[in-house]
Amino acid sequence: MFSKATEYALRATIYIAQKSTPEKKLGIAEIAKAIDSPQSFTAKILQQLTRDNALVSSVRGPNGGFYMTDDAKKMPVRLILDLMGEDHRFETCVLGLKKCSEVKPCPMHAEYKPIKQQLIHLFTSRTIESLAGELTSESAYISLGKR
């Protein structure tokens, strides 16, 4: 549904929310390993997530790394999609048609419309903190890497 970069951004943000604090920052190598992503690709993704400290914060230097504030953790998951430039996914036709509308719908329009509304609700109602909390309770996982 999303690009590989956005999938990694979702995983990275949830991992950072779960494991970091302003006092305990995470390094790029740890994040990349935890989300099973190449380190250089993870660095590029984190650049987008840290732009203007909109979501993830970073500090350079020997005691530096990535972390999230409590306020950032309370943000909706959809913010990650916005920062990754994928917010349009909920506005476009499921078949990729440019002129799909209520007046001239594609063959899947009517069936996909309620699904699209459910997805919008899911990504706007769930917070990053709530997803990270599920990982803490061990009822879910994000790493698909080898252990």
Q: Measured in Å, how far apart are the chain's first and last C-alpha atoms?
A: 27
Query: How far, in Å, CA of 18 to CA of 67, rounded?
Result: 10
Is the pLDDT score of 139 beyond 60?
A: no
Is the pLDDT score of 110 beyond 50?
A: yes
Domain residue spans of the chain: 4-136
Is the pLDDT score of 146 beyond 60?
A: no
pLDDT of residue 133: 87
Domain 4-136 belongs in CATH node 1.10.10.10? yes
User: Per residue in 38-74, pLDDT tens?
Assistant: 999 999 999 999 988 789 999 998 889 999 999 999 9
